[in-house]
Amino acid sequence: MDTLLTAEIVASSPQFRRKSSIFVDAIHDLPEKADLAPAQLYSTESGRLFHSGRIVIITVGLPARGKTHISVALARYLRWLGVKTRIFHLGDYRRATIPFGEDMPDDYFYVNATASSVLLRQKIVRKCREDIYHFLNHENGQIAIYDAVNPLASGRRSLAKEFAKHDIETLFIESWCDDERIIEANVRSVKISSPDYVSWKPEDAVKHYLNRISARIPQFQTMEEKDLNYIKMINAGERLIVNNRSFGYLSNRIVFYLLNLHIKNRRTYFARAGVSLDAASYKADASLSEQGEDYAQKMTECLLAHREAEKETMVARGDVNYEPRPLKVWTSTRRRTVETAKYLHEKGYTVRQRSQMSQLNPGVCEKMSERRIRAEFPDEVAKHELDPYHHRYPRAESYHDLAVRLEPIILELEREQNDLLIIAHESVLRVLYGYLMACNAADIPFLEFPRDEIIEIIPESYQNEAQRIHIPNLPEEIIPASPEDLKIPVPPSGFVSPIQGLGSPADGLATPQSGLRTPREPERISQQHVEDVV
């Protein structure tokens, strides 16, 4: 059994810092000891949650059933929970094994394939499996997602047996679909964008693609193996069948997550709360100042105008009946976020207050200038600089604490079918953005949300895209950061904020975190995955 460490010990060790921020690649530059992820509940020496073993999640399903979408979404969630997860796309191995320009044998997926095809199949699977073992045994991986078609019961049973020999549990996730519309939409959105189908009519391309699948994979057996652990997702989540032989903590969590997952194309907007009267005080929970009121109004106008413009663009493109999804607003229970939503509320939009969305608690650092924090807590500042994500000032919350607290919000975010505006403190926006964009935990404290921008997140098949909407005519002093911001994380000594003195009191109150890292491009959770045309 793992020796447990407290987050603090882990946090104060420099080797735990992640070097890269791109998901798939970052796994390879992880140090031997594990990193902590955004919402990991506790830490262990091996980096694995001790009340769950190592699991291989094996996808089952014909192409165009959303397997990869599910794999990517699951990886995003698990990784955020602090479970070291990696996706292994069998297709990538197939392409790497079959020389470029050569086609895979016609009988590759057949039950009674020729000996040479069976050998080829075994070779490809073996290589992939070796990598999975390496990840789980030598890289402290906890969950490997094995993304493949796995059409036959016999093959699935032998996979489970093989992994069991290595003391690894298996959980099969089948995506099964008999709703032609879902399959067609999937084919259209992700399959026929390949170069093979340039200049094809979409309908013809879809038909051709589906015909190729049925010729290639003539036999597909849906999961009925009562001796295996599986979750069968029918028609993109309309129904879930759970065959629970020995579900542990993580498997149950995965069911809950899948229950909330949908593939709707809705938007999430992030906006900061307005400036408040007693902005330096966390505990005061003050109302909006006059500037804050002004911001609330301008933000509202800007967002509504943006949505209107988007609608017009869609209509102009020929989608005459385009209606944006209804907009909902979530705020924290802190006054200034509730009051920032006032105008939207007056216009009849639904506003929900969520107590989990209160800002990061600054603890003893409340109302303190950076200079004072450095003078009074030099040891804490040193620890903080080593790991701004996990370090917790006395009586304060760390970003990690905040992420754990926000988990129900994350699930509701996945479930929500309407467009959603989230008005919250910058610390909360950082964590939520970090989830949606799969940011590295170490980068989350440094994400920037200047007040003159609304962030819009648009889901795409393999990654989410973020775009910034500019709010015009705001007084400059409220844009970069207001004194409401916590003076943590404290920047390294000698750091000069490029925006120092911008409308802030003499004491160096300008936000220390701005400019620490260059603004980042939206992250991808996975490399652009080259889709198979089987």
Partner 1 sequence: MPLPLPGIYLPVNEQSDTSKICVVMVGLPARGKSLIAGKAMRYLGWVGIPARVFNVGNYRRSNTPQPQATFFDPHNEEGERMRRAAAQAAMTDMLQWFKKDQGVVSILDATNSTKERRKWIAQECAAAGIETLFVESICDDEDLITNNILEVKTTSPDYKGQDPELAVSDFRKRIGNYQKVYETIGEDEKSYPYVKLINVGSTVIINQIKDYLSSRLVYYIQNLHIKPRSIWLSRHGESQYNLTGRIGGDSSISERGEAYARALPELMRKSGIPENTKIVIWTSTLRRTIQTARHLKADTGFEKLEWKALDELDSGVCDGLTYQEISEQYPEDFKARDDDKYNYRYRGGESYRDVVIRLEPIIMELERSENVIIVTHQAVLRCIYAYFMNIPQENSPWMEVPLHTLIKLTPGAYGTDEKRFKADIPAVSTWRGKGTSATHQEFPAGGH
Which residues sit at the interface with partner 1, rule CB under 8 A?
1, 4, 6-7, 41-42, 50-51, 226, 238-245, 249, 252, 255-256, 259-260, 281-285, 333, 335, 338-339, 341-342, 345, 350-356, 361, 392, 394-395, 397, 401, 404-405, 407-408, 411-412, 415
Q: Which is nearer to partner 1, 191 or 430 (CB)?
A: 430
> Is 147 a catalytic site residue?
yes
Smallest distance from partner 1 to CB 464, Å: 20
Smallest distance from partner 1 to CB 233, Å: 10
From the list 147, 443, 452, 532, the catalytic residue is 147
Smallest distance from partner 1 to CB 144, Å: 23
To the nearest 10°, the Cα dihedral for 190, 321, 266, 297? 150
What is the C-alpha separation between 79 and 25, in angstroms, rounded? 14
Q: Which is nearer to partner 1, 167 or 224 (CB)?
A: 224
C-alpha distances out from residue 176 to 230, 290, 340, Å: 12, 55, 44
DSSP string, 272-324: EPPPBTTTT-STT-PPB-HHHHHHHHHHHHHHHHHHHHHHHHHHHTT-TT--P
Q: What does the buried/exposed string (b/e) look like for 85-123 if buried means 16 or more CB atoms within 10 Å of the residue's CB? A: bbbbbbbbbbeeeeeeeeebbebbbbeebeeebeebbee
What is the C-alpha separation between 234 and 77, in angstroms, rounded? 21
Q: Which is nearer to partner 1, 239 or 371 (CB)?
A: 239
Q: Which is nearer to partner 1, 404 or 428 (CB)?
A: 404
Q: Which is nearer to partner 1, 266 or 342 (CB)?
A: 342
| Helix, strand, coil percentages in the chain from 3-state DSSP, rounded to 5 | 40, 15, 45
Report residue 517 as tokens.
Answer: 């890292």
Smallest distance from partner 1 to CB 379, Å: 16
Smallest distance from partner 1 to CB 467, Å: 27
Smallest distance from partner 1 to CB 255, Å: 7
Cis peptide before 489 (omega within 30 of 0): yes
DSSP string, 127-188: HHHHHHHHHHHHS---EEEEE-----HHHHHHHHHHHHHTT-EEEEEEEE---HHHHHHHII
Q: Which is nearer to partner 1, 48 or 529 (CB)?
A: 48
Catalytic residues: 147
